[in-house]
Structure 1
């Protein structure tokens, strides 16, 4: 960790697999709304988890984190294990009076090639995160900083925005919101998305032709 604090209170699970990034990238060409339609609207986070800074669109694999309310030690520990394309998905217990994430952690995320940060809790340093371009979604914005004592968990399933997020699941975000997909469904999803996209494009073409 970049901070000189004991992480003994953080429980870490490293025994899980990530969805294939190449397959996730193929799916990412479609909007979240279309992906959700194909998956029967399952896996879509509650709209209270909203885009607050950086780019609005992202895709990657879930690196789940559970924090104590107002404490971000688990996030610091998780970044030790983050791989390129990971998305930090943080259950902050919906606490919005203390920010769990700011620009200094954002710098570490960029260095680790983290794809995005999604927090069921609060963030701060919005202007700086916006300048970095790091896609950041959260329940709220608050300037009050966190403690760094723990406890917490890294690499175990968490709830975020009313959705269970398992380690290694695929996750996508755009201006409409966020969807999480079981990693076992990723390999067969691109073909289904293309079929639905073709249906919708044909509908648009028929409407436009009728106005010509």
Structure 2
């Protein structure tokens, strides 16, 4: 089920951690991603691109296929520190309306990318360039950091990394994430007032029994 631009902005504001928990801890892209634009956050439908190994021909092809608001996801059969994206490709993506990029490989021109404003997350930053010779696939499902990403699934990215929400669960997860954020706001107020999570979460007895076992 597609979400409106306002709903996607809400998901981006709620953030990766909240969306991940609200989804039942599913869809985490479990990688140490580099956030090229500090403070950036985005949520949008994925456009998946499988490149041939160490080759970015399909990245160039994707610039003619991406639709406004989509998050481009680039991967290869095996992740490697080879730059699939640099400043010139990112400039094209930005001009075509892409809302962000997730690159399960390297990017280069990192300083320029950080100043462009297009949100980009990558596994590596390396100057080593890719070939432009071999075909891959646009729209094929990808496995990135253990998460299955299909074209049309919703990606949420921020300083914590990335999480993918299956498009058929998008509204359900949005509503669950909003409810979770509301609960957390209530807890935040109670913690500021001096209450403790060990009591509000019912953990004191569990900790006490563990301490008792250690003392025994």
Q: 2:162 aligns with which of 148, 163, 178?
A: 178
Aligned to 1:58: 42
Q: 1:109 aligns with which of 67, 89, 93?
A: 93
Deviations 1:151-192 (A, max 9, x none): 200011111222110011111111111011011111223322
Q: Is the CA contact (8 Å cut-off) linking 1:102 and 1:125 kept in structure 2?
A: yes
After the TM superposition, which residues 1-20 of structure 1 pair with which residues of structure 2 at under 5 Å, given as runs?
20=4
> Where does the alignment leave 5 or more consecutive residues of structure 2 unmatched?
196-216
TM-score when scaled to structure 1? 0.85
Q: Alpha-carbon deviation of 1:92? A: 2.3
Aligned to 1:100: 84
Which has the greater radius of gyration? 2
- 1-structure distance, mates of 2:138, 2:181: 36
2:126 is the counterpart of 1:142 = yes
Q: Is the CA contact (8 Å cut-off) linking 2:9 and 2:42 kept in structure 1?
A: no
Q: 2:60 aligns with which of 71, 76, 87?
A: 76
TM-score when scaled to structure 2? 0.83
- 2-structure distance, mates of 1:40, 1:68: 33
Normalized per residue, the structure richer in helix is: 2
What is the CA RMSD across the aligned residues, in angstroms?
1.8
- 1-structure distance, mates of 2:139, 2:31: 24
Q: Is the CA contact (8 Å cut-off) linking 2:47 and 2:151 kept in structure 1?
A: yes
Instruction: Provide the secondary structure at the position in 2 that maps to 1:37.
Output: helix
Q: Alpha-carbon deviation of 1:47? A: 2.7
Alignment: residue pair count: 195
After the TM superposition, which residues 39-50 of structure 1 pair with which residues of structure 2 at under 5 Å, given as runs?
39-50=23-34
- 1-structure distance, mates of 2:2, 2:187: 36
Q: Is the CA contact (8 Å cut-off) linking 1:117 and 1:136 kept in structure 2?
A: yes
- 1-structure distance, mates of 2:182, 2:105: 38
Q: Is the CA contact (8 Å cut-off) linking 1:92 and 1:119 kept in structure 2?
A: no
Q: Alpha-carbon deviation of 1:19? A: 5.2
